[in-house]
Amino acid sequence: MSEGGAMNDSARASHTIDLRSDTVTRPGPEMRRAMAEAEVDDDVLGHDPTVLRLERRAAEILGMEGALFVPSGTMANQVALHAQTRRGDEVFLHAQAHIIFYEQGGAAVLSGLQLRTFDSADGTLDPGVMEEYVHHDDDIHFAPTRLVCLEDTHNHCGGLVYPLEKLREVRAFCDRHGLLLHLDGARIWNAAAAGGGTLAEIAAPFDTVSVCLSKGLGAPVGSLVLGDAAFIQRALRARKLFGGGMRQAGVIAAAGLYALEHHVERVVDDHRRARALAERIARVPGLAVDLGKVQTNMVYAGTRGTGLPAKELVRLLDEAGVLTLDESPWQVRLVTHIDLDDADIEEAGEIIAAVVEGAAQS
Ligand code: TLP
């Protein structure tokens, strides 16, 4: 465990290796110290100095005018949707985007939006296809298209990086049609570390960007939504409306600031470990791993060839001390993060091999 010190063999034998998500990490001692020592005030009144520092620092790193601290990535996305649209507007996004897949229909519930989805295997949107579906207010039949959302890295497509030139093509498409562009950049750090551009280059084409501190960066809580000053004013209202105004939030913002200063560069280690894990489990008979799709900290393994539905494999792995998530009926997701070291990954690979091979024999 990276911040917990080396583990001896007997401790290792009894521990669990948690590959469910990069959201499962615990703050280490330095981060906790930063939290304990944080200067705080009331952030709903706009006065928490640590939150303000975090917002300024994030805006600076991403090259955006302003930033707003929110409790979660979901709220960051929903605040951006709410602040950038009117009820009845249409939003274009990928069919497997987090916004449509994992946010309970929040765009409809909270903002009265119609979502139009476009699918692709790699999480990208094709401007040539979207072109045919853009509608403007002058035809009363249609919901006016207002906003396009992209996701980088793309979670449900396997943690894939959105190529920078393709982001820019979508920007050009938005400019041609007067549309706004939002990035779900929950894992923008991973995208940058995997060659998707610098953080500022990735953010540049977007009007608004949401980023998470609580995933690859290892903070316990917190996300930010970024945009220009006028957007931030509207986002402040939306955050309050959704119940996301937090008072002495500097305590958690301090963890985010610590993460921004110390944990951005290290996500490459997670990528290296995901690759090592993928290569190991790709050799397990029956497990299908597309190594070409392992670009960041996620590994997706198809289970059909093992005869084990994903839920069943997850259960067997749980019993063996390796925690994973079923992403679909025949697919398991494994995610590397700051609380795992090389030995954990090696051990997880061996356990997965033993469990699958054991199940095949029984
Ligand atoms: N993703 C979680 C689950 O919700 C699936 C995970 O374990 O990967 N955008 C993206 C791309 C995300 O992957 C997530 C979280 C969010 C937004 C939402 O963040 P939170 O969980 O902070 O609301």
pLDDT tens, position by position, 256-298: 999 999 999 999 999 999 999 999 999 999 999 999 999 999 9
Report the topology of domain 9-24+266-361. Answer: Aspartate Aminotransferase, domain 1 (3.90.1150)
pLDDT at residue number 361: 83
Extract the tokens encoding 297. 């900290």
User: For all residues of the chain together, what is the average pLDDT?
Assistant: 95
pLDDT tier for residue 18 given thresholds of 50, 70 and 90: very high
pLDDT at residue number 42: 98
pLDDT (mean) for 97-102: 97
How far does the centroid of ligand 1 lie from the alpha carbon of residue 269, in Å?
21
Reply yes or no on whether the pLDDT at 95 is more than 60: yes
pLDDT tier for residue 14 given thresholds of 50, 70 and 90: low
Reply yes or no on whether the pLDDT at 2 is more than 50: no
Query: Ligand 1 in contact with 23 (CB < 6 A)?
Result: yes
- Start-end of H helices in the chain: 9-14, 29-36, 49-62, 73-84, 98-101, 106-111, 127-130, 164-177, 188-193, 199-203, 229-241, 250-262, 267-281, 310-319, 342-361
Extract the tokens encoding 285. 């008979």
Query: Ligand 1 in contact with 223 (CB < 6 A)?
Result: yes
Query: Ligand 1 in contact with 212 (CB < 6 A)?
Result: yes
CA distance 234 to 274: 39
Q: Which atom of ligand 1 is nearest to the CA of 151?
A: 11
pLDDT tier for residue 16 given thresholds of 50, 70 and 90: very high
Report the topology of domain 38-262. Answer: Aspartate Aminotransferase; domain 2 (3.40.640)
pLDDT tier for residue 362 given thresholds of 50, 70 and 90: confident
Q: Which atom of ligand 1 is nearest to the CA of 22?
A: 7
How far does the centroid of ligand 1 lie from the alpha carbon of residue 8, in Å?
33
146-204 tens-digit pLDDT: 999 999 999 999 999 999 999 999 999 999 999 999 999 999 999 999 999 999 999 99
By three-state DSSP, how is residue 328 classified? strand
- Distance, CA of 118 to chain centre: 20
Query: Ligand 1 in contact with 74 (CB < 6 A)?
Result: yes
Contact assessment for residue 97 and residue 151, using Cβ atoms and an 8 Å cutoff: yes
Tell me the domain boundaries of the chain: 9-24+266-361, 38-262
pTM of the predicted structure, to 2 decimals: 0.95
Query: Ligand 1 in contact with 21 (CB < 6 A)?
Result: yes
Query: Ligand 1 in contact with 98 (CB < 6 A)?
Result: yes
Query: Ligand 1 in contact with 222 (CB < 6 A)?
Result: no
329-359 tens-digit pLDDT: 999 999 999 999 999 999 999 999 999 999 9
How far does the centroid of ligand 1 lie from the alpha carbon of residue 13, in Å?
30
pLDDT at residue number 326: 97
Give the closest residue (by CA) to ligand 1 atom 13: 155
Q: Which atom of ligand 1 is nearest to the CA of 72?
A: 22
pLDDT at residue number 244: 98
Q: Which atom of ligand 1 is nearest to the CA of 97?
A: 11
Query: Ligand 1 in contact with 152 (CB < 6 A)?
Result: no
